Structures are given as structure tokens and as C-alpha cells.
Amino acid sequence: MSFRRALALAACGLAGGSVLFSAVAVGKQPARGGDAAEPRPGGSAATAAARPAGTGGYWDSNWDRREPLALINLKKKNEETGEEELASRLDHCKAKATRHIFLIRHSQYNLDGRADKDRTLTPLGREQAELTGHRLASLGLKFDQIIHSSMTRATETTEIISKHLPGVKKISTDLLREGAPIEPDPPVSHWKPEAVYYEDGARIEAAFRNFIHRADAKQEEDSYEIFVCHANVIRYIVCRALQFPPEGWLRMSLNNGSITHLVIRPNGRVALRTLGDTGFMPPDKITRT
């Protein structure tokens, strides 16, 4: 069956929907590596322009700007005369290890606290943190570090988890604090001023760029790192890492104390092993707020 014939039959309802999708799929695709973004139906041009590169339906292999070719000085590369020397330099820039990123949402906390210092973990929240810490320890992995949000609920969750992982260093950072990463689509019922997304979004994007990337070329062994932070931050990071539209972050739900596991391969490929796992908790211990 010719392409024109298949398309005509699909339009008339005489062929399956899969034929129509196949016909549409052969249309012009975005140029690989390009930063231009076309507004999608229902989305604004401003939103499309603000969308990070690599979220337009194709995989950007240099999403973390650590692709070997991108790390070589272009001027020097063009002056190279020997293929062996160029290959050696490329090999020197290639990542060799896999990074395992465990994103932990903080446990349940006191919602009535007016200031951050008052938003401490509830008794149930402390139980959740114990269960999460026990689960992480049971994996039998050699964790390299725990990086956590400087907010009270994340810091307290980290302290409890770390009891189950003695010797693992803890690092606090403001980059992972909770916030509104980007205006969600579809929009939420309660309105947030654009300034909130503008300010929080830049910080959370900075957290993504700083912490989520392939291993350094000098790293010889696979690493296992824990990040204790917040639902909005984790959901945004997952969207960005998988190169899904980041505006979809609010379409996911994460329980308190849940474990999300991202894997970043040496070639830059990213896989999501688990999202918001709380299967290790008894049902009566699971909460979302």
C-alpha cells in the first residue's frame, strides 16, 4: 500500500489509527542538537522558548555538556593532524563509571509551623525516616555521600537516615530547598506569581545542572549517592533527567520518605529505576503531605 493510499484510508476511517500515526511520524523532525522550540498546542511561545534543550521529543546526547567531543577545545581539535592523538584525547574525556542517584523525599512534617524551623518532623515522619534508612541500608550498597536540602524537614530526615548508614558524609545545600520550579501544565487551581517561578526555577535548575550529570572522567568506580530533598525538586529533576517536558512535573505524586532511583550511564543515557517507592513501608505509615 502506498503512503498516499494509507493516509487516505486512515483519514476516511478505513484503516487503523496506527497507520495514521505512522504517516504523521514521517514528517519533518527537529534537527538534532538544536535549541529551537516550537509552541505545542495549548502552550505559549514564551513557555516553549524557556524549555531546556533536549526536551523536544528527541534525545540530546550532550544534555549535561559532558559529551567527550564537547569537552575538547574546538580550535585545538581542528588543528589535530593525527587521528590516533584525537582518539586518545576523546578517550581521556570519556566517563567510565555509572552514577546511581537516590532521591529521597523528606518525611511527614508539621504543616502548622509558621517558619521553617518550626516545620519539624511529626512522630510518624520520624518513623518513616527510620524505615527509609533501613531500606537504603538493606540494599548493601557503598554510598558515597548524602547531600540534603538545608530546610529543617530535610535535615531531620537526613539525620535519621544517616544513623543506618554510618560513615557516609553529609552535605547541606540551599540549592535543593523546596520551591516552584516552573509553571505546570496543565495549570494548578491556585495561582503563583510569575516571580516565584522565575526565582525558584533558576535555583532548582541550578541544582539539576550541578548534581545531575554523568560521572567525571576521573571516576573509576560506580558511585551511589543520596539526595534528601523535596517533592517539587525531585519531580522536576526526573523530568529534566529523562528529557521529558519539565512543565509536567506536577503530574507525578511522591509519598513522604519515598525513594526515586536514577541511573546515569557513562555514555550519558539515563534510566529511571524507581519513582517514589514506598513499598517497604506498612500501608498505615504511608503519607503524601
Q: How far apart are alpha carbons 234 and 244 in whole angstroms?
A: 14
Per-residue pLDDT at 144: 98
> Does 69 fall in a domain?
no
The domain that holds 106 is classified in CATH as 3.40.50.1240
Per-residue pLDDT at 275: 98
Question: Which candidate, 97, 73, 102, places its Cα nearest to that of 214?
Answer: 97
Per-residue pLDDT at 192: 84
Per-residue pLDDT at 57: 73
> Does 94 fall in a domain?
no
Range of the domain at 114: 99-285
Per-residue pLDDT at 210: 98
Contacts of 272 (CB under 8 A, 6+ apart): 238, 241, 242, 260, 261, 262, 263
Q: Residue 242 CB: number of other CB atoms within 10 A?
A: 14
Reading the chain (289 residues) residue by residue, the pLDDT tens digits are: 443 444 344 344 433 333 332 333 333 334 333 333 334 444 444 444 455 655 567 899 999 999 988 777 654 555 555 677 777 778 788 999 999 999 999 999 999 999 999 999 999 999 999 999 999 999 999 999 999 999 999 999 999 999 999 999 999 999 999 999 999 999 988 878 889 999 999 999 999 999 999 999 999 999 999 999 999 999 999 999 999 999 999 999 999 999 999 999 999 999 999 999 999 999 999 999 8
> Does 244 fall in a domain?
yes
Task: Say which DSSP state 220 is in.
Answer: -
Per-residue pLDDT at 147: 98
> Does 30 fall in a domain?
no
> Does 263 fall in a domain?
yes
Domain count of the fold of the chain: 1
> Does 127 fall in a domain?
yes
Per-residue pLDDT at 90: 81
Q: 167 vs 17, 43, 226, CA distance in Å?
A: 57, 48, 13
Contacts of 159 (CB under 8 A, 6+ apart): none
Contacts of 60 (CB under 8 A, 6+ apart): 32, 33, 53, 54, 243
> Does 279 fall in a domain?
yes
Predicted model pTM: 0.79
> Does 164 fall in a domain?
yes
